[in-house]
Amino acid sequence: MTEPESTAAPVPAYTGPSRVLSGVQPSGALHLGNYLGALTKFVALQDQTECFFCVVDLHAITVWQDPAKLTAQTREIAAAYLAAGVDPAKAAIFPQSAVRAHAELAWIFNCVARLGWLDRMTQFKEKSGKHKERSSVGLYTYPVLQAADILVYKATQVPVGEDQKQHLELTRDIAAKFNNDFSAPGFFPLTEPLIEGPGARVMSLRDGAAKMSKSDPSDNSRINLMDDADAIAQKIRRAKTDPEPLPEGLEDLKPRPEADNLVGIYAALAGVTKAEVLLQYGGRGFGDFKPALADLAVAVMGPIGERMRRLMDDPAEIDKVLRAGAERAQAVAEPVIEETKRLVGFWPG
């Protein structure tokens, strides 16, 4: 028998509880983009919904990671979550590899997702570059594992930066196809991405057309979570801009990507809109604006870096958080993977 056809008929919606899941790879130092695009949202959500924040080490090894460093990198991301204000009493913080159900569900989803869907993923194209045939198979099927991370908790919302939009669409496609193929309407939710706000796409400080990224060879392109006050201020002072003063209106910001980015960063750090920033700084030059932005960035980011350094001096404490988080996560993931396997028809039914 061939697999079931998808139907256009309306299907019952998911009726389970709201849950939030997100993850960050332990593959290098975190930067302001990760902070504004992801971590600040984690902190806001933990008071509203049950939250799961993992350190996605299974994703990290889709490209080579030195085994001697990976454990420390995992602790570093956990420290960043804590330093940014994620409270382990409220949200579960854990390493992805410590909850086996992620990998198990990913395999099942590998058999649900279609090659054609993965062929469209732009992140794979970017990361594999010119040498696709030398990439790991894991890098190709990376978004399927991401869908498993999310759906093994039946997460209804996922806070991420804009670069993850396509992976979240794939997650919905996989959930819908699974529910349809296994006659389990509403079993997996159609997860909503939470991407809005000026921090969802922070650009490089050296190039307004490139995303701020861990992998940019220029350290001046990003503000790292661990940068000290001097480094933060200096990188902002040196950020690429144009010679014009800031405009009064948002429309005039659009053709000026570097200016737009700095205004967006200010807005995200201050918790206001870009329009509000322009109300205050419109008509003023970067000679005024950059020092104000540097002061704000140092005030917000400086203490986070300090907290991170303090936390990393005590790996045993971080491990305690990770262990407790993994236990909580397991308790939610286990019944979901068990029911999924039953639906697929695995023994003993």
Positions touching ligand AMP (CB under 6 A) are 24-25, 33-34, 36-38, 160-161, 163-164, 200-202, 211-212, 214
Is 31 a binding residue for ligand TRP by CB under 6 A? The answer is: no
The Cα–Cα gap between 126 and 48 comes to: 35
The contacts of residue 215 (CB under 8 Å, 6+ apart) are 28
Is 261 a binding residue for ligand TRP by CB under 6 A? The answer is: no
Taken as a whole, the chain contains a residue count of: 349
Q: What's the order of all strands across the beta sheet hosting 91-95?
A: 91-95, 50-55, 19-24, 157-159, 192-194
User: In the annotation, is 69 catalytic?
Assistant: no
Q: Which residue is nearest to ligand AMP (CB)?
A: 37
Catalytic residue among 41, 154, 177, 211: 211
Residues 161-190 that bind ligand TRP (CB under 6 A): 164, 167
Choices 132-140, 160-168, 287-295, 306-314 (CB under 6 A): range interacting with ligand TRP: 160-168
User: In the annotation, is 214 catalytic?
Assistant: yes
Residues 124-153 that bind ligand TRP (CB under 6 A): 146, 149-150
Question: Which of 56, 152, 263, 304 lies at the binding interface for ligand TRP (CB under 6 A)?
Answer: 56
**Residue nearer to ligand AMP on the CB measure, 55 or 174:** 55
Is 191 a binding residue for ligand TRP by CB under 6 A? The answer is: no
User: In the annotation, is 125 catalytic?
Assistant: no
Residue owning tokens 């236990």:
327
**Residue nearer to ligand TRP on the CB measure, 62 or 241:** 62
**Residue nearer to ligand TRP on the CB measure, 239 or 329:** 329
Question: Which of 25, 46, 141, 179 lies at the binding interface for ligand TRP (CB under 6 A)?
Answer: 25
Catalytic residue among 214, 240, 274, 290: 214
The entry of ligand TRP, ligand AMP, none near residue 329 (CB within 5 to 8 angstroms by kind) is none
Binding mask 57-96 for ligand TRP (x = CB under 6 A): --x-------------------------------------
**Residue nearer to ligand TRP on the CB measure, 162 or 248:** 162
Is 97 a binding residue for ligand TRP by CB under 6 A? The answer is: no
**Residue nearer to ligand AMP on the CB measure, 11 or 63:** 63
The one-letter amino acid at 175: A
- Residue 159, preceding bond cis, omega within 30 degrees? no
The entry of ligand TRP, ligand AMP, none near residue 97 (CB within 5 to 8 angstroms by kind) is none
The contact set with ligand TRP (CB under 6 A) reads: 21-23, 25, 56, 59, 146, 149-150, 158, 160, 164, 167
Name the residues annotated as catalytic.
127, 211, 214
